[in-house]
Structure 1
Amino acid sequence: MKAFVAGATGATGSRIVTQLVGRGVPVVAFVRDAAAARAKLPIEVTLVEGSVTDKASIRKAMAGCTVLISATGARPGFDPTGPYQVDFEGNKNLVDVAKEIGIEHFVMVSSLCASRFFHPLNLFFLILYWKHQAEEYLQASGLTYTIVRPGGLKDDDSDTRTLIMAPADTLSEGSIPRLRVAEVCVEALFLPQARNKIVEVIVQDNANPQPYEALFAGVA
């Protein structure tokens, strides 16, 4: 296994990279600025510069990889095209190149409520709408996939509440530490129970902990 990670320097993506390195998986981190990324990511990681909006740079960077995790997402700002360009077109480009080179498993970080058009977050340049369009494009691609829809993302990695995993369009609220999202994404690469599923994830108090095999197996 050799992993390609898009969005590798983001708050979630950097945790994904660290989790992969901890599991002994070689990682190609797809970054805009290699010098800035070097300060954020483990030394074992191969850094390749490019953009998800540029297929040629994706193709060059992805060569030799066997699995892919996309944690890319539009940065908050005033560009109304950001969610379309990054969350949809960017992931669409990743899917297209992944098909070309025969990626074995594509894991995409999306968002809770991605399929709900009438959601307040869509007031911000249709961000959930474009994430959902990317989900559908991946599902229709023929690639083996896992789509991870986290609740509200938290930077507190010390939150040890129990992970809850549910099928698509089941959960509507809740939060989750970014570290736990990273763990879900990496575990998905190793578990056949995770293949070709959309999973929604949050953490809760007073729930019964389950191993990842059981969590993924419990999602139809």
Structure 2
Amino acid sequence: MKAFVAGATGETGRRIVQELIARNIPVRALVRDVEKARSILPADAELVQGDVLDQQSLATALGDSTVLLCATGAKPSFDPTGPYKVDYEGTKNLVNAAKSRGIEHFVLVSSLAASQFFHPLNLFWLILYWKKQAEEYLQKSGLTYTIVRPGGLRNEDNPDSIVMQNADTLFEGSIPRQKVAQVCVEALFEPAAQNKIVEIVAKPDAPAKNFGELFASVT
């Protein structure tokens, strides 16, 4: 297995890279600024310069990767096309490149409430709407996928247990980014994670379950 990580220098992406390296999985990290990435990512990660909006560069950037994890996301800005370009067009470009390179498993970090059009987050340039469109494009691609929809993201880890449920059944809650990264990486190893949307939060009073049990509980 060799993992390609898009959005590798983001807060969630960098934790995914760390998690993969900890599991001794070789990583190709797609970055726009190599110097900046060197100061953020583990030295073991192979850095590949590129951009999800540059369709032509992606197939080359993927190289000999066998799995792809996408943790890109539009940064808050005054550009109303940001979520459309990054969360939809960028993901679409990655899906197309993954198909052309025979990627075995595509893990996409999306968001809780992605299906709720009238959610307040859609006031920010339809950010959830475009995440949902990207999800649907991946689902229709024919690729093996896992779509991970985390709740509110926290930078600090905590000992709370992960709660995992079916799509459109969790509507509130938060989760540390470290746990999101663990779910994304474990999805590559759990057959029960394939071709599913999983919604995740973390709760102190939830029963502790292993990843096999968590993924198997989602239909």
For this structure pair, what is the TM-score category when the shorter chain's length is used for normalisation?
Answer: over 0.9
CA contact under 8 A between 2:117 and 2:128: conserved in structure 1? Answer: yes
Runs of 4+ in 1 over 2 A off after TM superposition: none
**How far did residue 51 of structure 1 move?**
0.5
Counterpart of 1:175?
174
Q: What is the aligned partner in structure 1 of residue 146 from structure 2? A: 146
Q: Which residue of 1 aligns with 2:59?
A: 59
In the alignment, what sits opposite 2:195?
196
Instruction: Name structure 1 gaps, 5 residues minimum.
Output: none
Q: SS of 1:190's equivalent?
A: coil
Alpha-carbon displacement from aligned partner over 1:7-49 (angstroms, at most 9, x marks no partner)? 0000000000000000000000000001100010010110011
Distance 1:51 1:208 in 2: 40
Match of 1:47 in 2: 47
- 1:59 is displaced (CA, Å) by 1.2
Q: What are the superposed Cα offsets for residues 112-148 of structure 1, whole Å, 9 maximum, x if unpaired?
A: 0001101000000000000000000000000000000
Find the aligned partners of 2:19 and 2:206 in 1 and give their Cα distance: 24
Instruction: Provide TM-score, normalisation by structure 2.
Output: 0.99
Partner of 1:8: 8
The answer as to 2:88 corresponding to 1:80 is no
AA aligned to 1:98 is A
Name the CA distance, whole Å, in 2 between partners of 1:128 and 1:33: 27
Tell me how far apart the structure 2 counterparts of residues 63 and 89 of structure 1 sit (CA, whole Å). Answer: 21
Q: Which residue does the alignment assign to 1:95?
A: 95
**1:56 shift after superposition:** 1.5
1:197 Cα deviation from its structure 2 partner:
0.3
Per-residue CA deviations over 1:134-186 (Å, capped at 9, x if unaligned) read 000000000000000000000112x1111000000000000000000000000
Q: TM-score, normalised by structure 1?
A: 0.99
Identity of aligned residues (%): 63
Task: Write the distance in 1 (CA, Å) between the matches of 2:54 and 2:73.
Answer: 15
Q: Does 1:121 align with 2:124?
A: no
- 1:27-46 residue pairs with structure 2 within 5 A? 27-46=27-46
Q: Secondary structure at the match of 2:113?
A: coil
Aligned AA for 1:208?
A: P
Residue 161 of structure 1 is matched in structure 2 by: 160
